[in-house]
Amino acid sequence: MHKKGFVYLVGAGCGSADLITVRGLRLLQSCDAVVYDDLIDPALLAQAAHAEQHPAGKRCGRHSMPQSEINSLLVRLGQSGKTVVRLKGGDPFVFGRGGEEFLALQAAGVPCEEVPGISSCIAVPAAAGIPVTHRGASRSFHVITGHTAQTGDTLPESLEALAALHGTLVFLMGLNSLEQIAARLTAAGKPPETPAAVVSGGNAPHPATVRGTLADIAEKARAARVQAPAVIVVGAAAALELCAPAAPVLPLAGVRVGLVGTPAFTERLARRLEALGAAAVPCMTARVRPLPPQPGWERLADGRSCWVVLTSRNGVGCFFDALAAARIDVRRLHACRFAAIGPATAEALAQRGITADLCPERATGAELARALCAAAGPGEEILLFRAAESSPEMRGILTAQGFSVREYTLYKTEYTAASPNAEADYLAFASAGGVREWFSACGAAPKGAVCVCIGPVTARALAQQTGAPFLTAEDISAEGVAECILRAHRHKKAQEE
């Protein structure tokens, strides 16, 4: 029976990834395909790394895909039986053309549903401390498109009627018409001293807040070089500044770090970087695809002494999933000793109730191989459980020392570009495979970005791709990468001073 598809029009909210609704996030994490707008936080796209990803952003003067093609794509994906998330900035039904997409899906017989998001008409002014309503200042607010194809000068209709309102006027997509909007409102009777503000926020590439009055807001915005997308606010509420107390300046404030790796790694690194004030941007996300257990897993339960070698947190999860798939009771592994490549892998093992018998001080395959050579007894077989793309170095060291080695492929790592063109000061790589995939897909690091490697194996892979200087973390962990970036940034600031 053919699976019936479903399309969800999901509002992503404005700004950081955690402003999406819980329902929207759950749908994103479980969908088969995501069709996304421009300026979506890449951290949200990383939540759908398992899914097909289709960029369909529209910005003033630059369309990735015409609306008719977006409608057709959504219909095609839905008719193919996929669960689809159409991820839109703000709210889909507030000048997001979500209604057009809904009607196109309805006409094609594709089931669909809208999941609301926090609209930019509320969220962007609020981030600048401007409430769209406030007792004594504004008892209503009105959201207006800043331009329309139905009028000769493209300005919104009924500006004269809007000028007579006492509430807050919020114009979306009107930056290019700001001077005309202010002039027409003034001509229609709005006092020139009426407070006004222009806010470029959310995930806008160049955030800015400019305050003034109808008389001077256009000149001030021009002087500040405010860029689209921006929200225009007119009314008494625009003079308010309901902002949180200024936070202390963190050491990586203003620094953007691109991330390349699995969600398990990039999320840990992002938390550490954000605690230091940096903006962490997933640029290429790795998805772990478990592979079916290979023949020979019964060797683990035959009662003969052996070493089980695991080289990543992902590998630990896949190992125990494969044990279950092979119907091997973990209690039958009593003759096995476990080796972990580093503390993170050992921690993942401990969470499964097993303490690693061996964990080298430095988390590299070569160090683990040398430690195994010293720890393994005569005749003990060594079983390597790892990724399909793993380096042959560890096996080579072990076999050269005369050990019997069996290798089992647990998973394959597949990479998806989340935001390959993002501006970044640093680009952090979590593996040699990530380096190869990045340079194969993108050719080079973002302009001006310094590459950072998690360890020497990743550094060797990067050296094969570029002659540009790069950094290598001393400690092979997410914390080590964050510390490496922190030291480099402090050194750079010291030189500039």
Residue 282 shares a structural domain with residue 299: no
Instruction: Looking at the structure, tell me whether residues 212 and 180 fall in a common domain.
Output: yes
CB 95 within 8 A of CB 142: no
In a domain, 249, yes or no: no
CATH number at residue 168: 3.30.950.10
Nearest alpha carbon to residue 380 among 361, 406, 354, 342: 406
Element (H, E) at 373: helix 365-375
pTM, two decimals, is 0.72
Q: Are residues 210 and 232 in the same domain?
A: yes
**What does the alpha-carbon distance between residue 394 and residue 384 come to, in Å, rounded to a whole number?**
9
Q: How many domains are contained in the chain?
A: 4
Residue 275: per-residue pLDDT: 93
Res 61: pLDDT: 47
Query: From CA 191, how far away is CA 193, in angstroms rounded?
Result: 5
Nearest to 89 by CA among 150, 33, 21, 13: 13
Does residue 441 sit in the same domain as residue 377?
A: no
Residues 399 and 424 in one domain: no
Last residue of a domain, one of 387, 414, 441: 414
Give the per-residue pLDDT at 206.
82
Residue 364 resides in a domain: yes
Q: Say yes or no: 159 and 234 in one domain.
A: yes
Q: 485 with 342, same domain?
A: no
471 part of a folded domain = yes
- On whether both 296 and 406 belong to a single domain, the answer is yes
How does strand 58-59 pair with strand 195-200? unpaired
Residue 251, domain member (yes or no): no
**What whole-number distance in Å separates Cα of residue 13 and Cα of residue 173?**
16
Residue 349 lies in a domain: yes
pLDDT at residue number 16: 84
Point out the domain boundary residue: 180, 207, 239.
239
State the CATH number of the domain containing residue 295.
3.40.50.10090
- The answer to whether the bond into 229 is cis (omega within 30° of 0) is yes
- Exposed (0-12), middle (13-18) or buried (19+): which is 387, by Cβ within 10 Å? buried
pLDDT at 15: 84
Catalytic (active-site) positions: 37, 58, 173
**According to the model, what pLDDT value does residue 1 have?**
47
Are 300 and 336 within 8 A, CB to CB? yes
Q: Please report whether residue 244 resides in a domain.
A: no
Same-domain status, 304 and 410: yes
CATH number of the CATH domain containing 43: 3.40.1010.10
> Do 277 and 420 share a domain, yes or no?
yes
Give a yes or no: residue 248 inside a domain.
no
Q: pLDDT digit of tens for each residue in the chain (497 aa)? A: 457 899 999 999 998 888 999 999 999 999 999 999 988 888 888 888 788 989 887 654 455 688 999 999 999 999 999 999 999 999 999 998 999 999 999 999 999 999 999 999 999 999 999 999 999 889 999 999 886 655 445 677 788 899 999 899 999 999 999 999 999 999 999 999 999 999 998 878 788 999 999 999 999 999 999 999 999 999 999 999 998 777 688 999 889 999 999 888 888 999 999 999 998 988 888 888 899 888 888 889 999 999 999 999 999 999 999 999 888 999 999 999 999 999 989 999 999 999 999 999 888 899 999 999 999 998 899 999 999 988 899 999 999 999 999 999 999 988 887 777 778 999 999 999 999 999 999 999 999 999 999 999 999 999 999 999 999 999 999 999 999 999 999 999 898 87
Claim to verify: residue 382 and residue 448 sit in the same structural domain: no
The domain in which residue 176 lies consists of: 122-239
Report yes or no on 246 lying in a domain: no
Does one domain contain both 299 and 404? Answer: yes
- Show which of 414, 437, 470 is a domain's final residue: 414
